[in-house]
Each structure stands twice: as structure tokens, then as C-alpha cells.
Amino acid sequence: MSAIDASFESDVDVQPRTVGTEPSARRPLVEPSVDDHVEPTGSTTHTDDSAVDTDDAAPEAAALDTHTFKILVTGPFAAGKTSLIQSVSQTDVVSTDVVTSGDEADVKAHTTVAMDFGTYELEDDGVNLLLFGTPGQPRFRFMTNILKGDVDIVAFVIDADARHTHAAAGVELRSLLSDLRVPAVIAVNRCDDQDVADRMARSLGALDGEAVVPCQLVDPDSGRNVIVEVLLTLLDSMESGGHDG
Amino acid sequence: MSPPPPPPPSPAASRPVPTTAAGALDEMTEVIAGARGALLASVDGFALAQSETMPNEAAHAAMLAASIGLAHQLVMMGGGEQLRQLVVDHDNGLLLLWPIGDTRVLAMLTDSNVDQARLRRFVRSRAALLADAS
């Protein structure tokens, strides 16, 4: 379990970018109780309180909104997807790592064969992030196809040093985004330079509007920076109406 | 440590003991009534051996690896520690999956009415051979 007690509040002020202009929309959101029905995917979950008069309850209902976002963490083999999820998840990561064999064993000792799953919650803002990590090898592409349903944003991780993976990664990135039509954040792992990361991401076909984050995903702080960018991108998307959350 | 159980009696007894994983998988599908095909894969999704009757589909090994990977997590959900078997019961029969050691997965396609106890005994008797396959 990640022992990280991460809070974005000291790192970034997301509150001014919270969706909506109504005062109720900017109020802190209440985290759901165990009795609340929380959709596993989708953008916004409304807690149901049918006993409340709906005429008077609109502002209160908005205050009870819990925003649950599904994030697809994907990218090539050994790019750092599992590291990202492990570094930021506040709950035990569901991991399907197994020992590698063949040529892949020369790259790393373990690999994800089905999925990684982690969570991140901003309690005061009622924002829940569900992080679904995919395997990176093409033979597991069916898992990406399963996991990509109803995602709100893609965090696409590449390894700056593994340039031989970039061409295929670029094809995969554009294919995925043209299919999903959701925003993306490009996390360029093993990179500290924003300009280098930008150039690398653009060479993959990342669009000008897509955020690029240089990162070192062995460092939990760096992983959190990626998640911050994911949050900001989501909020931007919601404000611009590109997202139904 | 007790020796591994002997393979089931006839008709397997009349066959030479297989020396390869593929031979063992062929043997299983021939000896066990209702066993249609067998595939041995690495836990990271590479096909290692298959019976002659098994459809040759590259994605199958990866699917087995992913399924077993998730099943290990489901064991923990159930409060267990060790995955013994994963069964996919469908309208055209069964797909049975077993971890073989720490690094292999065996899948068998069977009819619904296959003698699962006998099948398990047979697999156990060939486990050492299958675990060493590469």
C-alpha cells in the first residue's frame, strides 16, 4: 500500500477551476457514504436523496455532488504506468504483475498482465480518481479495449529513454484518442526538461492542447505532478464544455 | 515429501510417458474423455506448448495470463491465499485454468460433462513436466 499522504492543496489550487459558476458548484463536495450508489465509471455521481423537495434542493444537491473520474493510464511496455499508479494511489493497488520471460526479462523483472488499479481522492473537493492501468505489450491490447470504456481522460506514459518505442506509441496514442474523444495528458518519464518533453510528445503526434509533463515516476512527488495535470486538464475540459462532468 | 501421484490407469498406461509439454497436452486430450484442447502459457502471456487440437490464436496465451493474473486478486478478495483453479463455464463447455508452478498457466477446453476430478489428477501427474516447459 502506498503510504503516501498526498494532498494537492499545497501544490495546486484547483478550487478556482472547479466547474461551474454557481456558488453551490464551488462548495466543498461531500464524499459519498457507503450507502451511496457510486457509478464505477462516468463523470459525476449524484448522491440520491429523493425525500428532499427538488425545488429547494438544487443547491444542496449540487453540494452533494461527488465527481468520480476514470483515468486510463496507458502507454508502451516499461514506460512507468504501474509506477505512476503505485506512487499516487491512496488505496492498496490492485496489481497483476508477474515475472517476465524472454527478451522482456532483459528490460524488467515484472510486468502487468491484466490491469493495475489505484485511487486518489481529494476529500475536500469530493473528487475521486479511479486509475486503471493497462499492460503495455501489444499482445495485451484486448485489456486496453476492456478498460478504456467510459474513461474521462487518458494519462499516456512514455519513457523518454526508450525511443524505439515512440513510433508505435504515437500511433497508439492517436488511435486511442480518436476513438475515445477525451482529453489526454502525456507523461514523459525519465525526463526533467519541459522543452524536451514537449518536443518528444509532439513527435508522437500529441496536439498543442494536450498537456505534457516531464516526470521521474520513481519519485512519488513526480507522480503526483502528473495527477495534478490530469486534474487540471479534466477541469479545463469541463469548463469548456468538452466534458459532461 | 510424497512422490507425485501416478498417472491414471489405462488407456494412458499403454502409452509411452510423454517427454515434452506438447506431448503431455496431446496425451491429456486423447486420454481424458471430453477434453478438447490444451494450451500451456507463461504467466506473462506467451504460448509455450499446445495440443494439436487447440486453436492456434496468438492472443489466447495473453488472455490466459491476464485471467490468471486477475484470478489471483480475486482469491484475495475471497480471503484465500492460493489460486487452485479458474473455471469458465459457458454454453459450449468449460475452460479450465490451473497455475502450474509460479510461472506457467495451463488451460484446457472441455465438454461440460468432463470428469474434472480425473482431469485434475492427470494434470497433477504431469505438472513437473509442464512447469519445466520453455
Arithmetic mean of pLDDT, B99-107: 95
pLDDT of residue A11: 40
Domain residue spans in chain B? Answer: 18-131
Cβ pair B24, B12 in contact under 8 A: no
pLDDT of residue B6: 58
pLDDT of residue A16: 33
In three-state form (DSSP H/G/I as H, E/B as E, the rest C), the secondary structure along B18-82 is CCCHHHHHHHHHHHCCCEEEEEEEECCCCEEEECCCCCCCHHHHHHHHHHHHHHHHHHHHCCCCC
Does the pLDDT value for residue A36 go beyond 80?
Answer: no
Does the pLDDT value for residue B120 go beyond 50?
Answer: yes
Does the pLDDT value for residue A147 go beyond 90?
Answer: yes
What is the pLDDT of chain B when averaged over all its residues?
90
What is the pLDDT of chain A when averaged over all its residues?
79
Highest mean pLDDT among A44-53, A121-130, A180-189: A180-189
Does the pLDDT value for residue A4 go beyond 50?
Answer: no
Does the pLDDT value for residue A182 go beyond 80?
Answer: yes
Arithmetic mean of pLDDT, B112-129: 94
Which three cell numbers mark A22?
A: 454557481
Which helix (H) or strand (E) is A110 found in, with range? strand A110-122
Question: When comparing pLDDT for A63 and B18, which is higher?
Answer: B18
Arithmetic mean of pLDDT, A188-198: 97
Which three cell numbers mark A174?
A: 492517436
For the domain made up of B18-131, give the CATH fold.
Beta-Lactamase (3.30.450)
Does the pLDDT value for residue A133 go beyond 90?
Answer: yes
Cα-only R_g, chain B:
14
Range with the poorest average pLDDT among A37-46, A124-133, A149-158, B67-76: A37-46
Does the pLDDT value for residue A56 go beyond 60?
Answer: no
pLDDT of residue A146: 94
Cα-only R_g, chain A:
18
Q: What percent of chain B has pLDDT over 70?
A: 90
Give the closest-approach CA distance of A135 to chain B in angstroms. Answer: 9
Give the closest-approach CA distance of A98 to chain B in angstroms. Answer: 6
Range with the poorest average pLDDT among A35-44, A167-176, B94-103: A35-44
Helices first, then strands: H and E counts in chain A? 7, 8
CB-nearest to A98 from B61, B65, B67 is B65
pLDDT of residue B4: 64
Pairing of strands A153-159, A184-189: parallel
Residues of chain B in contact with residue A140, where contact means CB-CB under 8 angstroms, are: 45, 62, 65-66
Cβ pair B49, B41 in contact under 8 A: no
pLDDT of residue B1: 54
Residues of chain A in contact with residue B69, where contact means CB-CB under 8 angstroms, are: 96-98, 112-114
Give the closest-approach CA distance of B63 to chain A in angstroms. Answer: 7
Question: When comparing pLDDT for B30 and A12, which is higher?
Answer: B30
Q: Which residues of B touch A (CB under 8 A)?
A: 42-46, 58-59, 61-63, 65-70, 72-73, 102-103
Q: Which residues of A touch B (CB under 8 A)?
A: 94-102, 104, 111-115, 135, 137, 139-140, 142-143
3-state class (DSSP) for residue A47: coil
Domain residue spans in chain A? Answer: 23-66, 68-239
pLDDT of residue B2: 63
Question: When comparing pLDDT for B59 and A29, which is higher?
Answer: B59
CA A92 to chain centre: 17
- Looking at domain A68-239, its CATH class is alpha beta
Question: When comparing pLDDT for A2 and A139, which is higher?
Answer: A139
Which three cell numbers mark B12?
A: 494412458
Question: Tens digit of pLDDT for each residue in A57-85?
Answer: 454 554 457 889 999 999 999 999 999 99
Question: When comparing pLDDT for A234 and A32, which is higher?
Answer: A234
